[in-house]
Structure 1
């Protein structure tokens, strides 16, 4: 019996069967398979070049466009299969898709900002939502649910198969590495295998299982028992439990009269989407006598959303009133209106077509990107208006000119201004703020190498260390930059660390006789320098190193404080990382030649105008005692 099972399994996974299935899929989806192969090749090139999201922005953009190309062509192919005039419109459809991809490739910059990732994610979302309804021309309402169950099960199966296949191949490769190539092996092969599986095998396997019949498959459809149990006994229970939690929070709002936190908006939208997906997957069962409860569950689910939608709007509008509109808040607000409309439609409409849900989401995903009503335009204008108001309020922006302030700026205003400037750096470019142009152009011109275009480019784009935005606030506006995580008690805290941790081996230390590693005040006892007979003591109070005799008579000292102050001054009071050469000092006095390499240090102050007090320091000290005369 076992041999029969094995032989039957081998027949199913025979090379001929796999090859035939692959050829059938390629013939049905030639463009999606082509984009899948292209994505696979581009990802392998990226892995082999060690440059993902770093040194090859054009290649990264090409990968993103190739992924969209796979989804766009897959959706268009399925649409054509369900069209009565597919031969007539095939060329037009493919031309539109390829033109859109070319437009995105040309208009998206080589180096992505947050707005470009949002554009990519929006088109990705629109494609996925379109995939949910594009093949459901059939008027039978249950077919929409059956089709999406097919998508869900096929996607899940492809994921599981991909994970198992990668695990098997990776373990086999590991065995070969350990047995035959220990110490000399191309580690990137693991990444290459994963890329081939996830960008080629998984998509092809997924597409091979998509329905390709023009007629309703209702008569042949058998609802997956495991999925039914998952949805009926687990998901509906979790949806109900989550509803109780959110209603309890609503009661808390009423009793305490404290406006809802921003995170509740994400929770309500997530809950709503999970509940809606559950209803879509359960919809093929709703006409069965055994599952009549699904209609009741659907009716009460949407009615129960109404109070939560009110809380959702309260949370979103509260955040917008305080901090203005950003792209994230725009999409949350848009989803709030969408959820309101869908809820009212499902409550009062007699038809209640579930297909309307992905259709509207797909349209909104694209429409929200463009025009004066689009997320980028609305968000930019909102943040620009708030920034202009804050700078005018603190007399920094006067008659469209920036005047560096010497006055104290309230902490919350400093934090808001810093946050908005970071927003423009990350999303639109600080050059979009017209009244700041003169200031940042002047600062760019005053950079070390005035002829270095790359340095000025980094000042404008500022992706790496977020130093330019801090310089703009400090030198251009007149106060210290405030990070998102800082509050009024931590805003006067400073930490500076060496950018690349220096090991003693890479320094020229051959001249020096001795070395000590100092961490704050961990050196409590004197250290004997045997070559000179002197004792070295670290004085944490005034930040100095003292050399003294056995009787504690001071011979010489090294003032560490002046070096730390110099680092702070050169950093413009900006926390972060400093170049190694700025953290290293070679000096001497009448008794010593020495080199100090600071690893990091921390400092605090009472307010913005006070000098910093050093609270912790870590450094290496190399020295040579000069011979006595």
Structure 2
């Protein structure tokens, strides 16, 4: 298959592609035009338009997959194209309201549907009919189509951009920056999609002649399989270390086992049509030895996952890792014991899982919320039973749970434990204020100082709804004190403020004359006695002093200190502060 076809071939394939995929291409054109309009009108970042753009993006792969699936039937099933359209409508109306930001849940759900749609493209023509040779050729066509469409789109985009830049600089024509983004949208949305769809043969199942190139064999034999062996050596060496030291595995090992599994499955797909006939021993023996060697590592994967779940509960991330572990185990057992070993099961099952885990009480979002609420109840009751006196670590665990639930907009789920709804009790629209007020209301006292790994040497107040009393002062300015910034930025009228190096002394200059210093050491010592670093009471971050003929008030928004190995490093590195001054104070 040629990578770069002739112009006539492109023109012919373009017409055929529209006849074959009229709904998909029309959808891509509408989505592209709508996105261009939002860029032109300045509404690209608006939540309402963002919902529509996401729906258009999601629909392309699902309409392609639906068309491929429909082509498996002998008679036309045009009505089948309604299914992805209904799915797009359901997705759109399930998105948050126009005045709400996209939270992590909706972003993750979009990614899951996006992945699922693309996986369905990889398998849709072979759901009802199976031929491993035709499937291999189909996957090769998909890969070539992706490379070719991206290559053509990129070349076209760069060519047009260079032409516009030439016109702009040679003829002094004013070209808005938005035009370059709009051209990018056209190339990606219309050109890329159209060229991609023009590369698929009509009779997919009749393409059974295997053309297994030498380059592909070299890639598998000398690059991919050696990488698998390398990962296996590393993981088995780590497993031996665990047995010798009798330690539980680190959570990071989960990602390496998952990466190894995916690499092995990809190799299996690549060698599937030639494995039995190949003269290469690594290719011929890849199955079943890879799967036998993978089984113990899957056990290691489950141990690592359940260790983290037992310590910190289930989050979306741990849920997905656990589901992937179960899927890897299922695929491994399938490849070892199934008679058919049809590799379409890889993308098909993963696409189905991506859909299933996003919905219902069994889904990632519901399970993770319930797990963290249960964990909150346990930690909260432990602290409550000790009269709200506990270690810094346990308090930090509670704060972490509250922060997690707050980001998920599920903080009111802890109402049965607390006896009240935090959102109602604190009556604030700020999510940051909500979790801060909840922690402050609990008034938890700590019995120890935080270890360095829990310490944060940056202190800040809560600026939301903060009022600054300017009575008795003439001027107010927000100033950054530190090594960066110029003198003008640190000056109020003719007075300049500077933080002395490795000290808590703030020097005050009148023009070029030093008129006095403000020592912040007492303030720093009080801050270090606090068991929290944020939402500090503003009174603890305020200093007032009279110097010569100047009255000064400093309200620090934030103060940063070095993270010391020694206790004597109690000086400010930088500070962000409001400074109020009055001359000729009596």
CA deviation after TM superposition for structure 1 residue 277, in Å: 1.1
1:152 aligns with 2:136: no
Contact 1:129–1:361 (CA<8 Å) still a contact in 2? yes
Could you tell me which residue of structure 2 aligns to residue 575 of structure 1? 534
1:30 aligns with 2:22: yes
Secondary structure of 1:83's partner? coil
Whole-angstrom CA distance in 2 between matches of 1:266 and 1:253? 17
Q: 1:432 aligns with which of 397, 413, 422?
A: 413
Could you tell me which residue of structure 1 aligns to residue 394 of structure 2? 413
Secondary structure of 1:365's partner? helix
Secondary structure of 1:135's partner? helix
1:21 aligns with 2:3: no
Q: 2:296 aligns with which of 302, 307, 322?
A: 307
Query: TM-score scaled to structure 1, two decimals?
Result: 0.76
Of the structure 1 ranges 138-147 and 334-343, higher mean CA displacement relative to structure 2 is found in 138-147
1:468 aligns with 2:444: no
CA deviation after TM superposition for structure 1 residue 306, in Å: 0.9
Contact 2:360–2:366 (CA<8 Å) still a contact in 1? yes
TM-aligned CA distance change 1:437 to 1:267, over 3 Å: farther
Whole-angstrom CA distance in 1 between matches of 2:373 and 2:347? 34
Secondary structure of 1:394's partner? helix
Q: 2:207 aligns with which of 207, 214, 217?
A: 217
Secondary structure of 1:218's partner? coil
1:142 aligns with 2:133: yes
Whole-angstrom CA distance in 2 between matches of 1:129 and 1:309? 24
Could you tell me which residue of structure 2 aligns to residue 72 of structure 1? 62
Could you tell me which residue of structure 2 aligns to residue 191 of structure 1? 181
TM-aligned CA distance change 1:437 to 1:161, over 3 Å: farther
Of the structure 1 ranges 113-122 and 263-272, higher mean CA displacement relative to structure 2 is found in 113-122
Task: Please give the per-residue CA displacement for 1:78-99, whole angstroms capped at 9, x wherever unaligned.
Answer: 11112223x2x321x2222222
1:170 aligns with 2:161: yes
Whole-angstrom CA distance in 2 between matches of 1:193 and 1:508? 44
1:115 aligns with 2:115: no
Could you tell me which residue of structure 1 aligns to residue 495 of structure 2? 514
Whole-angstrom CA distance in 1 between matches of 2:543 and 2:162? 50
Of the structure 1 ranges 271-280 and 429-438, higher mean CA displacement relative to structure 2 is found in 429-438
Contact 2:52–2:92 (CA<8 Å) still a contact in 1? yes
CA deviation after TM superposition for structure 1 residue 577, in Å: 11
Secondary structure of 2:125's partner? coil
TM-aligned CA distance change 1:274 to 1:577, over 3 Å: farther
Contact 1:286–1:293 (CA<8 Å) still a contact in 2? no
Task: Please give the per-residue CA displacement for 1:454-473, whole angstroms capped at 9, x wherever unaligned.
Answer: xx3x33xx3xxx44323322
Whole-angstrom CA distance in 2 between matches of 1:501 and 1:578? 20
Q: 1:601 aligns with which of 542, 559, 566?
A: 559
Task: Please give the per-residue CA displacement for 1:83-128, whole angstroms capped at 9, x wherever unaligned.
Answer: 223x2x321x222222221111112214322222222122222212
Contact 1:390–1:413 (CA<8 Å) still a contact in 2? yes
CA deviation after TM superposition for structure 1 residue 74, in Å: 0.8
Unmatched segments (≥5 aa) in structure 2: 464-477, 565-569
Whole-angstrom CA distance in 2 between matches of 1:527 and 1:425? 43
Secondary structure of 2:285's partner? helix
Could you tell me which residue of structure 1 aligns to residue 85 of structure 2? 98
Whole-angstrom CA distance in 1 between matches of 2:66 and 2:552? 71
Q: 1:12 aligns with which of 6, 10, 17?
A: 6
CA deviation after TM superposition for structure 1 residue 255, in Å: 1.4
Q: 1:343 aligns with which of 332, 335, 342?
A: 332
Could you tell me which residue of structure 2 aligns to residue 557 of structure 1? none
Contact 1:518–1:619 (CA<8 Å) still a contact in 2? no
1:493 aligns with 2:457: yes
1:536 aligns with 2:494: no
Name the count of aligned residue pairs.
553
How big is the alpha-carbon RMSD for the aligned residues of Structure 1 and Structure 2? Answer: 4.2
TM-aligned CA distance change 1:568 to 1:67, over 3 Å: farther
Secondary structure of 1:366's partner? helix
Contact 1:521–1:540 (CA<8 Å) still a contact in 2? no
Secondary structure of 1:258's partner? coil
Could you tell me which residue of structure 2 aligns to residue 554 of structure 1? none
Query: TM-score scaled to structure 2, two decimals?
Result: 0.81
Contact 1:498–1:583 (CA<8 Å) still a contact in 2? no
Whole-angstrom CA distance in 1 between matches of 2:537 and 2:164? 42
TM-aligned CA distance change 1:324 to 1:521, over 3 Å: closer
Could you tell me which residue of structure 1 aligns to residue 475 of structure 2? none
Secondary structure of 1:285's partner? coil
